[in-house]
Amino acid sequence: MPKLPRIFHVTERALWEAAHERGTYEMSTRGRTLVEEGFIHFSTREQLPRVAELLYGDYAGPDELVVLVVDPARVGVPVKYEAVRPGGEEFPHVYGPVPVDAVVDVEPWG
């Protein structure tokens, strides 16, 4: 079975630390939870700078931003590459909570 490429998610350090304590990460995107959105937004390494700028370009929060590096083979829920518009660029979406042990690295952002 081929190794799946890592997927990436930008978040606030405090949100990651709270998830680490809980055992699962459940924020979909800036200000929206998995329950609200239905999935967690991720990106490929190549998409990451554009996504981070779109979501956090105006960020002036108290916490630093980090990038969660996730092994999709370890999430235990569906990971689907989907486009916002038909025929558009596809982004990875995780359809459930991300177990903290699926996060293989946490990188600083910015």
**pLDDT recorded at residue 1:** 52
pTM confidence score: 0.93
Instruction: Give dist(CA 69, CA 44) in Å, integer.
Output: 10
Residue at token pair 């081929």: 2
Residue at token pair 């903290």: 100
Domain layout of the chain by residue ranges: 7-109
- 67: pLDDT confidence band, cut at 50, 70 and 90? very high
Domain 7-109 CATH assignment equals 3.40.50.12780: no
> What is the amino acid identity at position 6?
R
Q: What is the pLDDT of residues 48-61, one digit of tens each?
A: 999 999 999 999 88
- What the block records as the tokens of 44 is 């490929």
Partnered with residue 82 across adjacent β-strands are 91
In which element (H, E) is residue 96 found? none
pLDDT of 7 over the 70 cut: yes
Q: What is the pLDDT of residues 81-101, one digit of tens each?
A: 999 889 999 999 999 999 999
Instruction: Give dist(CA 41, CA 61) in Å, integer.
Output: 20
Beta strands in 1-110 (DSSP E): 7-12, 24-25, 27-29, 32-33, 40-41, 65-70, 79-83, 90-94, 98-99, 103-109
